[in-house]
């Protein structure tokens, strides 16, 4: 009922997340899109100059986390403001593992495993919370990062952070191209895994839980387990993204994972259309393009204070306007449990 | 023992500020069923205005008044221009819009004032009096207690003893019936936001001199502490907000004093987790809405 109304109001068709699995599968053969994407990225890395390659790599790293977050928030209805902290977990794990063993594949694996474990702990708590309570808890997680790094400064070296030791890229590949390849390999694998997951039984369970927990329970879905699993999957993606960021910057510090990062991620998935993996790609692109644009604008204006801050304002305004003008993404989420009585 | 007494008073003083801030959150929650995640940023904006006014005129009190007025104006603006048009079918929408406001406000403040910490002087001495050899309270702590006490008393009087307060409660509790009886429900909502933002600004004015200084993100940790305070007391309960604020203040003070100041945010997170999982309705909640 409400769905129909919203479709009419917003004009644009709401992404049909609840379509039957068979109908969705016919629409896009996922593996073809992934292969095409890989070919496109490969071609781009040979055409672009080094700095653009670095930016391309950053888009890939962002795509890992926005894809995971859009599945959690868009398909399972859990809003997390703590994904910046999860990325920090992955980044620090990679840095510590790299500096100790200098084995890149193992370090990435470890980063994902550790972040998944942390995500499981948060997810266990999150599965019992709804709406603003969950947002507040995950916000607290995001804010605690600098506190953790300064309390255990022997391990994390407080505000200075750690540098990441890396082997030189194999052969004669330039560093930036190597970074772009690795980041996009991670991103495409993540997206493929998420697509397969979302189109299967698990995706259906997640959407059922999002739409109506009671009905999902009656249909034999284990609501709590589905929610924890969704959080764990999304945390693993964030861990990989964080590790990729550490690999890109060759250093980690709490300043790289501020609260605004978590808010940017939310903005990215909201603008792209919640629950849509293509939307996650648009979001990841925006996360790289908008700051670059506002940076060059600030340099043109010659104002030191505009740097960074202009991007904040643009992101904020876009977020508010999208939410007010086209709430189609978020509006499809219904929390019947907590807010049955509307004002 | 001396340290314990000192930390206790210090904690109560911090707690009073968190209580005021939590009260602001509870006011909006009761009126609109929204947790205002932009409260911290709005308060910082008000303190920046106070900073400018104080620098221009040399008077702390003019700045103080300017902060409260800014709070009122911001509250009205945010409610009338933005929050009124949010689709409330999902509670996430209000949260996400508030987060967008946080980005906007922090960005604008950064553009106008820069991202350095600006020093803010306290209006009274922060040196503690000694009572029998034990450092207990500073003049500033007393000022905090008086200010927060006055706000709590004024709000209590407003809500329990005046027709406007009755209308506000009615509009929040049964909007449709209130509208039939001639209450301007939208107006009451706007008034609630204005009051809450003003109280938040007051809390900002009180807390900033005790922290590192003024910065666009200065209230992030304070917001989490106040949110925790509000959850400890139950988001629906004003008394709970005050008690919760004092509990959080004491906890932070003891942890900072006996362990290390950097551990304090982790202690808040832990308290939040324990309360949310153990007693999610809060210690004083009268609401039966949330069953988890």
* CB–CB contact A263 B228 (8 Å): no
DSSP A276-318: -HHHHHHHHHHHHHHHHHHHHHHHHHT-TTHHHHHHHHHHHHH
Q: Which residue of B has its CA nearest to A139?
A: B224
Q: Among partner residues A144, A146, A317, which is closest to B104 by beta-carbon distance?
A: A317
Window 243-302 of A: residues touching B by CB (8 A cutoff) are 258-260, 263, 266-267, 270
Which residue in the set A137, A313, A331 is minimally distant from B273, CB to CB? A137
Chain B hits for A313, Cβ within 8 Å:
103-104, 107-108, 111
Position B268 in a domain: no
Q: Work out whether the CA dihedral A110, A200, A24, A131 comes out positive or negative.
A: negative
pLDDT at A8 > cutoff 70: no
SS3 state of residue B122: coil
CA of A193 vs chain B CAs: smallest distance (Å): 27
**Is residue B273 situated within a structural domain?**
no
User: For testing the chain A interface, which of B99, B109, B111, B222 should be mutated: the one with the most A CBs within 10 Å?
Assistant: B99
B140 domain residue, yes or no:
yes
Query: Quick one: A154 exposed, middle or buried, by C-beta within 10 A (0-12, 13-18, 19+)?
Result: exposed
Chain B nearest CA to A274, separation (Å):
12
Q: What is the ipTM of this complex?
A: 0.88
Which residues in chain A touch residue B280, judged by CB atoms under 8 angstroms apart?
Answer: 128-129, 133
For residue A339, what pLDDT is reported?
41
Q: Is the pLDDT of residue A330 over 70?
A: no
Provide the pLDDT confidence category of residue A1 given band limits of 50, 70 and 90: very low
pLDDT over 80 at B91, yes or no? no
| Minimum distance, in Å, between the CA of residue B180 and any CA atom of chain A | 15
Q: Tell me: pLDDT of B63 over 70.
A: yes
Q: Is residue B229 part of a domain?
A: no
Residue B76 lies in a domain: yes
Strands A251-252 and A162-163: antiparallel
Residue B30 inside a domain? The answer is: yes
Token pair belonging to A14: 């709401």
B237 lies in some domain = no
Strands (E), B125-232: 128-131, 134-138
Mean pLDDT of chain B: 89
Tell me: pLDDT of B291 over 60.
Answer: no
Chain B contact probe: residue of A147, A265, A304 with most B CBs at under 10 A? A147
- Closest-CA residue of chain A to B172: A343
Q: Is the pLDDT of residue A25 over 70?
A: no
Nearest chain A residue to B265 by CA distance is: A144
Report yes or no on B202 lying in a domain: yes
Between B292 and A310, where is the model more confident? A310
| Domain span holding position B38 | 2-218
For chain B, the domain total comes to 1
């Amino acid at each position: 009922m409400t769905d129909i109304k919203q479709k009419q109001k917003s004009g644009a068709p709401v992404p049909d997340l609840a379509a039957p699995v068979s109908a969705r599968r016919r629409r896009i053969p996922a593996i073809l899109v992934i292969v095409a994407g890989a070919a496109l990225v490969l071609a781009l890395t040979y055409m672009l100059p080094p700095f653009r390659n670095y930016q391309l790599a950053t888009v890939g790293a962002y795509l890992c986390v926005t894809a995971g977050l859009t599945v959690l928030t868009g398909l399972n209805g859990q809003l997390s403001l703590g994904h910046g902290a999860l990325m920090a977990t992955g980044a620090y794990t990679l840095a510590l593992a790299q500096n100790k063993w200098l084995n890149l594949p193992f370090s990435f694996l470890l980063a994902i495993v550790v972040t998944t474990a942390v995500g499981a702990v948060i997810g266990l708590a999150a599965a019992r919370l709804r709406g603003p309570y969950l947002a507040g808890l995950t916000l607290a997680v995001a804010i605690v990062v600098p506190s953790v790094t300064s309390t255990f400064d022997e391990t994390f070296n407080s505000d200075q952070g750690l540098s990441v030791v890396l082997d030189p890229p194999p052969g004669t590949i330039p560093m930036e191209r190597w970074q772009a390849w690795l980041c996009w390999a991670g991103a495409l694998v993540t997206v493929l895994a998420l697509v397969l997951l979302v189109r299967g039984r698990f995706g259906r369970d997640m959407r059922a839980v999002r739409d109506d927990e009671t009905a999902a329970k009656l249909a034999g879905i284990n609501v709590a387990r589905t929610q924890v699993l969704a959080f764990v999957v999304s945390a693993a993606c964030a861990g990989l993204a964080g590790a990729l960021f550490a690999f890109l910057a060759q250093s980690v510090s709490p300043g790289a994972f501020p609260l605004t990062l978590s808010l940017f991620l939310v903005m990215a998935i909201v603008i792209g259309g919640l629950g849509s993996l293509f939307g996650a790609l648009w979001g990841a692109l925006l996360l790289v393009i908008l700051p670059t644009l506002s940076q060059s604008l600030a340099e043109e204006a010659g104002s030191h204070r505009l740097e960074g801050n202009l991007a904040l304002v643009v992101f904020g305004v876009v977020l508010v306007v999208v939410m007010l003008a086209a709430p189609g993404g978020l509006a499809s989420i219904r929390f019947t449990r907590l807010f049955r009585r509307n004002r | 023992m001396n340290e314990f007494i000192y930390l206790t008073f210090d904690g109560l003083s911090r707690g009073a500020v968190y209580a005021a801030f939590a009260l602001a959150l509870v006011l909006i929650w009761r009126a609109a069923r929204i947790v205002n995640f932009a409260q911290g940023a709005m308060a910082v904006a008000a303190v920046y205005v106070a900073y400018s006014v104080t620098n221009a005129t040399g008077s702390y009190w003019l700045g103080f008044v300017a902060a409260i007025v800014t709070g009122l104006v911001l509250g009205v603006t945010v409610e009338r221009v933005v929050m009124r048009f949010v689709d409330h079918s999902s509670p996430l929408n209000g949260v996400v819009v508030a987060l967008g406001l946080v980005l906007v406000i922090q960005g604008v403040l950064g553009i106008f004032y820069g991202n350095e910490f600006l020093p803010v002087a306290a209006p009274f001495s922060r040196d503690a009096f000694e009572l029998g050899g034990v450092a207990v309270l500073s003049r500033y702590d007393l000022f905090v207690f008086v200010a927060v006490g006055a706000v709590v008393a004024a709000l209590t009087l407003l809500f329990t003893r005046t027709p406007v307060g009755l209308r506000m409660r009615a509009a929040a509790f049964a909007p449709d019936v209130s509208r039939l009886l001639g209450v301007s429900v939208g107006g009451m909502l706007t008034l609630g936001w204005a009051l809450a933002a003003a109280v938040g600004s007051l809390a900002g004015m009180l807390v900033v001199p005790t922290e590192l200084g003024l910065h666009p993100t200065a209230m992030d940790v304070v917001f989490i502490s106040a949110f925790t305070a509000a959850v400890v007391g139950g988001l629906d309960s004003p008394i709970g907000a005050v008690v919760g604020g004092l509990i959080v203040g004491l906890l932070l003070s003891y942890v900072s004093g006996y362990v290390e100041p950097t551990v304090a945010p982790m202690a808040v997170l832990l308290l939040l987790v324990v309360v949310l999982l153990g007693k999610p309705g809060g210690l004083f909640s009268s609401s039966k809405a949330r069953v988890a």
